[in-house]
Amino acid sequence: MIQVVHTIKEVREQVKAWRAQGLTVGFVPTMGYLHEGHQSLIARSVAENDRTVVSVFVNPMQFAPTEDLESYPRDLEADTSLCDATGADLIFNPEPEEMYTEGFCSFVDMNGPTAELCGKSRPIHFRGVCTVVSKLFHIVTPDKAYFGQKDAQQLAVIRRMVTDLNIPVEIVGCPIIREKDGLAKSSRNTYLNEEERKAALILSKTIYMGQELVKGGMTDAKELIRAMKENIGTEPLARIDYVEAVNFDDISVTDTITDNTLVAMAVYIGKTRLIDNFIVQGKRDAKGVSSC
C-alpha cells in the first residue's frame, strides 16, 4: 500500500532509508487531480527507478490573485488510488504552511526562458514554479524527475534552472497524452461544459494542421502562426492568448521553423485557459513527442 505523508521530515526520513539500501529515486511533481498524463510520468519513473515519489501540492505561489487557486480541482483519494495502481511508493501532500513557513521571503526567479509564451500573460507564474520545484528537489533529492511536454515551457525552464543552479537531478521530458478525440489531457478540462468541450478540440485540430504544414515544407514561422491563428478563429468560443514559434532550448522567438522549434499556443475556451504544442524534431518532422 502506498504511503501518504504530509511533512518534509517524513519525506526526508523515507528517502534516507532508501538511499541507505542503495536504491534510486524517481520523482513526479504534480498539483494533483491526476489523469492519464500524470500516470504516464509515474509509470515512466517506476520503470526507471527503484522507488518513486509523487508530490501532490497545489502551489499558491504560481497563481495570480485573479486565477483559479481556490477552484483548482482536488481529489487526494483518487490521486492516491492512481499512484498506488501505477506503482508509486510515496505521496508527499503538504499543506501550504509546510512549504512556506511564516516569514518566507526567498525565491528562485529566472530571466530569458520565462519572458515569452505563458510568461507574458502570467508574469508571476514561473517564479512560483521555479521556487516550489527547487524546494521539492531539495526535499526529495531524486535521481530523476519527470515532466510532461504539454507544459513545454515549464519543461525548458526547469531544465535551465537545474543547469544554472547545479542541482544534481536528471530532467526527463515525456510525451503529451491526449483524449481519444485529440484534446490534450489537463486537470482544467473539467471546467469545460459540454459545448466548450467540443469547442476545445480546435486546439488539437490546429496543432495537427500546423504539423502537417511543417511536414509539407513550411519554414516561415510568421506564415505558420498566421495560418494557425486563422484556424482557431473559426471557433466562436475560442479566444487566443498566444500562438508562437520559439527555440525549445531557451524559448527565444524564431522566424524560421527548424529542428527543435517549439510551436505553442494558449487559448481560452470560455473562461478556461488551455495550452497545447508540438516540437519539430529530426529532419524537420513535426512530432507531438519530446526527447524522452
Would strands 272-281 and 261-269 be described as parallel, antiparallel, or unpaired? antiparallel
Q: How far is CA 275 from CA 76, 229, 278, in A?
A: 24, 14, 11
Q: Look up 38 and say whether it is catalytic.
A: yes
25-30/3-5 β-pairing? unpaired
Burial code of 60-71, b = ≥16 C-beta within 10 A, e = fewer? ebbbeeeeeeee
Residues constituting the chain: 292
Catalytic residue, candidates 6, 35, 38, 138: 38
Half-sphere exposure of 288 (CA within 13 A, CB side): 18
CA 15 vs. chain centroid, Å, equals: 24
Phi, psi dihedral angles at 183 (to 5 degrees): -60, 130
Distance of CA 156 to the CA centre of its chain: 10
Pairwise CA distance, residues 222 & 193, whole Å: 33
- Chain-centre distance of CA 76, in angstroms? 19
Cβ-based neighbours of 286, under 8 Å, separated by 6 or more: 210, 211, 212, 214, 215, 263, 278, 279, 280
Could you give the CA distance from residue 152 to residue 291 in angstroms, rounded to a whole number?
12
Active site residues: 38
